[in-house]
Amino acid sequence: MARLPERLGTVYKGGQGQWSWALHRISGVAVLLFLFVHIADTALVGFGPKFYNQVVHAYHNPVIRLLEIGLAAMVLFHALNGLRIILIDFFPKMADYHKQLFQIVVGLYIVLIVPAVFFMGRGFIRSL
């Protein structure tokens, strides 16, 4: 009788695929949470302009400004990685190049996020 291995199944060893998957899920949840907040604060218009303006004024808080920069970073990564996923879904042979595609996503992300953080960060520094 054959002996069964102690651990059945395979153990995923990580790498670009695991990081891509995890970061895509995290960034997606962050964007979803922002959308809920955005819908809620936009709905406050119904309570009158004074109340709405008080709530929107909270967005000038330095902590909220930092969160906006983080949101931009999350949206950018989610969009670029989503394009990578679409490419692999429509062209299955591209799955053979998933590591290179992830490296392209990371490279584009860095090229695009640096100026975005610079311009958004200038407003943050001025608000302190």
The answer to whether residue 10 sits within a structural domain is: no
The answer to whether residue 43 sits within a structural domain is: yes
* Phi-psi category of residue 91: left, alpha or beta, with phi > 0 → left and psi -120 to 50 → alpha: beta
pLDDT digits (tens, 9 = 90+) for 90-116: 999 999 999 999 999 999 999 999 999
**Structural domain boundaries enclosing 104:** 18-127
Question: Taking the model in full, what pTM does it have?
Answer: 0.79
> What pLDDT score does 77 carry?
96
The answer to whether residue 7 sits within a structural domain is: no
pLDDT digits (tens, 9 = 90+) for 52-66: 888 888 888 888 888
Q: How far is the C-alpha of 113 from the C-alpha of 69, rounded, in Å?
A: 10
Please list, in sequence order, all residues whose beta carbon lies within 8 angstroms of the beta carbon of residue 115, skipping any fewer than 6 positions away.
none
The answer to whether residue 40 sits within a structural domain is: yes
> What pLDDT score does 101 carry?
95
The answer to whether residue 33 sits within a structural domain is: yes
> What pLDDT score does 43 carry?
86
pLDDT at 5 over 60: no
> 58-62, 68-72, 122-126 — which is least confidently predicted?
122-126
CATH of the domain at 118: 1.20.1300.10
Q: Name the domain count of the chain.
A: 1
> What pLDDT score does 13 carry?
67
Q: How far is the C-alpha of 110 from the C-alpha of 103, rounded, in Å?
A: 11
